[in-house]
Amino acid sequence: MAARYVRAFHEANPALPLGILSLVTGYGDTGAALCRSGVDKIAFTGSTRTGSKIMATCAETLTPVVLECGGKDPVIVAADADIAAAAEAVAWGAFTNGGQTCVGVERVYVERSVAAQFTGTLVQHARAIAPGGDASATYGPMTMPSQIDIVRRHLADAEAAGGRALIGGLPSIGERFVGPTVLVDTPENCSAVREETFGPTVTVREVDSIEEAIELSNHHRYALGASVFSRSHAEEIAAQLVCGQVTVNSVIAFAGMGSVPMGGVGASGFGRVHGDEGFAEFCRTHSRVTKLFDIPGFELVTLRRRRWVMPLIDRVLGLRHRR
């Protein structure tokens, strides 16, 4: 995808010199060299662990950074939600691209009165999903073998802690592909809930109230995105979630809107991309103050300033800015 963007940029701007926009691929040593190359700013998207290394390396030269790191994005489903729409959206948010999406859905908190209906509908969607490498596949392989190991560890931890896979689970893990997995009864302290899985898995937990759902959503080191499904209280719920962005009655919608700032809180990073805030991240503020006229006897920048000048300034500023 990055290569296509670079190619399209050059095709659209043939008069610009080469090097205005470049693409360099590589592993960790390439990234480390980039951090020390003298660029003005580094913007990174990836894991919190790698983001911490980038931040430490850039600190050597005081190179500023924007870090959009890992996520464990929650979804809250209220009793008054459109359950069919919520289940379909969660299935897409959790399983699209094999779950390898930084703002993908990884955990769901659903009110108990509609939990069975929601979970059953979600499993139905999962049963219609087929990973593979041909045109009929819903999604493709895991990008890195190491990511399969992480998914396997999380599912094993969930099973050992009493979690149940209603579909998928450990038997669905192949050499390159992982089947869609819906986990229930998974404790909150399990790695499948506490760590970013970045695979086609989602945990579902029944809650007694929306207040409990909000508390569980916020009680996490990751705070990238979140979603809320409710016909009557979505905005109220969304306002209480600690994260970078919230989608109401949908999932991941903000990622496709260039005008909406996007970024994380806590272990999910800091800084913003997209929108006015994202544009400002890559600009330097340059301030200028010009003296327009003199006031005889009222010079401020002098060692011979008269005694009455500062009390008068205090008085004037107090009158000007009082509320």
Active site residues: 68, 102
- Measure the CA–CA gap between 93 and 100, rounded to whole angstroms: 10
Ordered DSSP codes for 240-299: T--SSEEEESSSSGGGG-TTS-B--EETTEE--BSHHHHHHHT-------------TT--
Q: Give me the residue label for tokens 């599912």.
A: 155
**Residue 267 zone, left/alpha/beta (φ > 0; ψ -120 to 50; rest):** alpha
Which DSSP category does 41 fall into? -
Distance between alpha carbon 197 and the CA centroid of its chain, in Å?
A: 14
Answer for the pair 78, 210: CB distance below 8 angstroms, yes or no: yes
CB atoms within 10 A of CB 255: 17
